[in-house]
Chains A and B, each alone.
Chain A
Amino acid sequence: MTFWFEVPLLILLILTAAGAILAKDLISSIFILGTYSFFLALVWAWLGAVDVAFVEAVVGAGLATVLFLLTLFGTSPKDIRIGRFSPPLTALIGLPILAVLLLYAAEDFPEFGNPESPPNVHVSSEYLKNSLQETGSSNVVTAVLMDYRAFDTLIETSVIFTAGIACALLLRRDRK
């Protein structure tokens, strides 16, 4: 089994996430967040979602790090709060209860890789069967994104376009 591989990976994921929150220096926090993205990409690849892993490695570790760093250069690189405020009592009690409830709900999920689970019996089998004959692309993810679900991708692209326009409107100043 691959059990020896996945448990250290998940532990590293939690450790890097905690380190990114706890680090005093915000620049090192950003780089720890980049390593978190790399570990997350490894987890996606291990789950078989190679496209998602690719995007996570490129966007999470590459582009987001640059954007965070550039934002940090415009502000202060140090966390200047004197002490960490202690979490309120409602969070200390409420969050473990929420975690227990979520774990309880996770019991009802279908088993990982189960061919009878609802996402696997609805339309995805049709995609897997027909995508090579209908679209000529052997990567089913690309066929679904760009052909079967092209409207979703069009709206997604327009969302990204809108984000760029909004950033330019909000952040860019007149250089006069």
Chain B
Amino acid sequence: MIQAHDSVIVRKMSRVLIPLIQLYALYVLFFGQQGPGGGFVCGVMLGTSLILGILVFGPDSQPYRLAQKAMHGDGVGLLIFAGIGGLCLIGGGQYLNYSGLTIPGIDTDVERHYLGILLTQVGVAIDIAVTAISIVFSLAFIDDDRDDP
């Protein structure tokens, strides 16, 4: 159902815009503890940049194959989030209480909390991005096997 967009302007513009969107998404993720934003926004922006690539460059392009590969990561984000909680349990604390996040080289309580927040945000971002791509794939191929055009 999805074909490559035939306008040169749209293709060139998205070739410029997609890396910028992804770069800004990473900035929002890693700067989320100092400014607005965080894992949720980063995930949506990463997913949306890949969706833009799919819609513009069509099924025979690199964004499409990347998105198809990304769909195999469904659940990885949730696993990261829950796994950080499990690491806190292993370190002798409570579930999702980052004070128990024992990683060598990180000693103070503040650093553990900072690292815990950052890692769980990465988990949330992956989860949201994969879910957005997955929903778009489900919607876009809704009449893939229908006979009429």
Please list the residues of chain A having a beta carbon within 8 angstroms of any beta carbon in chain B. Answer: 50-51, 53-55, 58-59, 62-63, 66-67, 70-71, 73-74, 133-139, 141-143, 145-147, 150-151, 153-154, 157-158, 160-161, 163-165, 167-168, 170-173, 175
8 nearest A-B pairs in the assembled complex, by CB-CB distance: A137-B33, A164-B131, A171-B138, A136-B114, A135-B113, A50-B36, A74-B142, A70-B139
CA distance A26 to B78 in the complex (A): 35
Instruction: Check A157–B127 contact: CB distance below 8 A.
Output: yes
B116 touching A147 by the CB < 8 A rule? yes
| CB–CB A161/B75 < 8 A | yes
Contacts of B44 in A (CB 8 A): 55, 58-59, 62-63
Which residues on the B side are within 8 Å of A133 (C-beta)? 110
A interface: dominant SS: helix
**Which chain B residues numbered 102 to 149 have a C-beta less than 8 Å away from chain A?**
109-111, 113-114, 116-117, 120-121, 123-124, 127-128, 130-132, 134-145
Q: Which of B21-62 contact A (CB under 8 A)?
A: 28, 32-41, 44-45, 47-48, 51, 55
**Total A-B contacts with CB atoms under 8 angstroms apart:** 146
**A157 touching B110 in the complex, CB below 8 Å, given contacts A173-B145, A175-B145:** no
Query: How big is chain B's contact interface, by range?
Result: 35 or more
Residues in B whose Cβ lies below 8 Å from that of A167: 134-135, 138-139
B113 touches A134 (CB 8 A): yes
Contact A161 B110 (CB under 8 A): no
A146 near B78: Cβ-Cβ < 8 Å: no
Complex Cα gap A68–B113 (Å): 39
